[in-house]
Structure 1
């Protein structure tokens, strides 16, 4: 219902100006009522009506001078409120100057009581600003998506965290996010509220995560240490909360953060250093025309090494793995890419020293990529000798 009632086009400037002047007249009348305790004497009413044209000319002039009509109402911000306050204050000062001028050069009387000028400024400023914020709230509320919002906690109750919250609030209809908590290590902030949102410590945040009260956590602190970042990410992942990251300020678009820039946390963000970029040219020069051997070639790491090596045109590739089915699957994949002529597949075990030695002596590799290993730590801790024989002794036999 509300969505159909709210216009999607922006209000014309003349309508905004007209409403502002209407509010100004209302404020002047209300100020007079308050000044005379809701009973305006007849002679004061005549003074009020005589002053009204001057009042409207000055208010309209200030509106045009400060361009208070130019702001988009549904996106009203602090800059718009500041502009309205200055416009109304300037108008009230003009009324005061007109009063002094009338007293000095006229009949010695003021055009209107100074108390009415002061009360009118307070009422018109409050009405214009609150009216704009109310319209903004209507549009923000209308853009909410019931039942589909993602509950978000922001790690960092400082300036960057507040900017992240403002960004989500501003683009709420597009992001479908709602900030429900701030998390901060500063004990002086814990237990307080930031723009109506509770600030929790890290220990309290874990209980919040466990209750399922948060779907995402945004890492907003710009200079957070890598260890502290990793610990918060681990805490979030432990309870199924997806970590998001706010990019550095110098990457913001025109100095302003947008929801689209709040991204999934990359593994590189946890390194605490710039990622190392490999030289493609150097890698190609070291592989092209060479005889390459890859152990553990059917595994997740080894098979990707096979694919990457084949890109750089080696003379021949020997792939070794003890797992027959994964090795067969790799063979089928290589057949589809017409790489089987370059690749020789060997079912073998690096724990068998004699077979490994014979295979390598026959192939005469220039480079060996050793990827054969047990990598699932909890499982292998129950069978440490198997892990030792493969990961340690198998590596020794490959080297020798």
Structure 2
């Protein structure tokens, strides 16, 4: 009912516009005194134009548009409708009356109708547009990036009634855009003007709308914004802009991942598909941070069956439900098993015959493993041996061990056990038909037990944030990035390699703590205190990615490198593992002495 009334009002308005336009055109043409011979033509021309004008407006759907959001498309439609209507009215009037309408009248009528029809509709948009009526309670936003994405976000912020922000300034490094306006919002300058613009325009929130800019540049811009206390938000994905998905809901807080300055991983889709598609793929530790992400990354490649093996039933249950919901066509088998249980692992391989194995099951907490060295050995060494031996025995094509930078010149039991696991699969790879490889990388952001969730919990409690040492440095990468590179490295495996992932620049844990506090809208040392607790058992100030004897060669991927395989005899490593078996449950120092014999680079600092 309301829509019909609105359409009728618009039709009446347009008829009135046509009538006024024609009458005033004749009036001006004849200097205020329309001659008798043209007076009858005025009314016939007016009636014909009103009828044809209404028909053309309906044909070009001028009454089916929401003029509050009128733009170029609506202007073009008005232009088409008026042009066709005026041309047809001129010809029809000429045909009926036998007398042409004066050309000056036709042109002036055409101009006036265009002006009044377009003007009336865009006046309605101006009345409804928030441009002229900013709400005082709204925050003031500065948008970094005056491209398509930034412009779209500015338009959304201005027109969306749910918006709590109003855009007042753009920042863009393009010199041709500086001092220009977009939707009435000035482009005040490049990134060097960020701090000045925040003060001048009383900015309460910054939105980074530069999804196509390399992550390294985004990180540099974030570094500038971090000097202020203004809240930072970001539009994260270029795909969202391409597919028109950018809405206010896509604007999220800047996270630590954005500070790393790492571009998305480029993967060889065909190379991965060749060894994963239509194969039975087993992932141990499938409920963990890396294991579950490996499941998510592998599922789209349509494996014949995806085996989710884990010790914790809740985590396996969660990832199974997620995968069944997201990838309903993928066959999934959940297996509750402990990699330390050799008979159970062999039974799994006998039943399912996996062709590709990603071994992510491990104990990884450094201080905990220092206190429980026997458990670290049982899980990280014997568990790896069980899975690797089963892969060899039952003819798996590839076996990829998830390792860690802590395995290089280890100072902890956890790192040393992961190094022994690397050594074991390297020795196995020398004679096995299975292509064994290890992938070594540093810390992953957001993994269970990592420093990021720990810091966030401390900040949520009001602090203090505890840092072990002001000079502590670590390598970081995101969980999806690490998982994608692990899968890609599996495609390059020929047997016995240790792949090293490019971790980028190392990050100071102190800087990470400060950034997290700032990103939470708080001030380091003022709102949230930072305290030093001292280096924990097994920790070292910085991590390494290569042992002294390992060289480094490149692969086809710019973020994956190969450490030179070490010459390890299978008989020797098995003898050392038997020695470890004999000291299980003994005093920690006795265990560490044996571990040091197996891993000469092991220097325990606890």
Name the structure 1 match of 2:291: 279
Name the structure 2 match of 1:179: 167
Partners of 2:418 and 2:364 in 1: CA distance? 6
Name the structure 2 match of 1:334: none
Is 1:201–2:187 an aligned residue pair?
no
Please report how far the alpha carbon of residue 69 of structure 1 lies from its aligned counterpart in structure 2 after TM superposition. Answer: 0.8
Partners of 1:243 and 1:380 in 2: CA distance? 20
Name the structure 1 match of 2:468: 374
Partners of 1:44 and 1:134 in 2: CA distance? 34
Structure 1 residues 271-298: Cα deviation after superposition (integer angstroms, max 9, x where no partner): 424489610467757888999695667x
Please report how far the alpha carbon of residue 380 of structure 1 lies from its aligned counterpart in structure 2 after TM superposition. Answer: 9.2
When the two chains are superposed, the root-mean-square deviation of aligned CA atoms in Å is 4.4
Deviates more, 1:70-79 or 1:177-186: 70-79
Is 1:61–2:55 an aligned residue pair?
yes
Pick from 101, 104, 114: which aligns with 1:115?
Answer: 104
Partners of 1:394 and 1:217 in 2: CA distance? 34
With structure 2 as the length reference, what TM-score do the two structures score? 0.45
Please report how far the alpha carbon of residue 246 of structure 1 lies from its aligned counterpart in structure 2 after TM superposition. Answer: 2.3
Structure showing the higher helix proportion among its residues: 1
**Shift in alpha-carbon separation, 1:375–1:127, aligned structure 2, 3 A:** farther
Is 1:14–2:8 an aligned residue pair?
yes
Structure 1 residues 218-270: Cα deviation after superposition (integer angstroms, max 9, x where no partner): 22223212221012112223212222222435336963532222222333344
Partners of 2:176 and 2:153 in 1: CA distance? 21
Structure 1 residues 333-363: Cα deviation after superposition (integer angstroms, max 9, x where no partner): xxxxxxxxxxxxxxxxxxxxxxxx9xx9xxx
Pick from 153, 174, 189: which aligns with 2:177?
Answer: 189
Partners of 1:142 and 1:370 in 2: CA distance? 46
Contact 1:152 1:177 in 2 (8 A): yes
**Shift in alpha-carbon separation, 1:36–1:261, aligned structure 2, 3 A:** farther
Structure 1 residues 122-150: Cα deviation after superposition (integer angstroms, max 9, x where no partner): 21122122211221222233996632112
Contact 1:145 1:176 in 2 (8 A): no
Partners of 1:213 and 1:254 in 2: CA distance? 33
**Shift in alpha-carbon separation, 1:161–1:38, aligned structure 2, 3 A:** farther
**Shift in alpha-carbon separation, 1:145–1:367, aligned structure 2, 3 A:** same
> Secondary structure of the residue that 1:146 maps to in structure 2?
coil
- Number of aligned positions between the proteins: 324
Please report how far the alpha carbon of residue 86 of structure 1 lies from its aligned counterpart in structure 2 after TM superposition. Answer: 0.6
Partners of 2:33 and 2:245 in 1: CA distance? 52
**Shift in alpha-carbon separation, 1:49–1:210, aligned structure 2, 3 A:** closer
Name the structure 2 match of 1:91: 85
> Secondary structure of the residue that 2:216 maps to in structure 1?
helix
Contact 2:45 2:93 in 1 (8 A): no
Contact 1:31 1:119 in 2 (8 A): yes
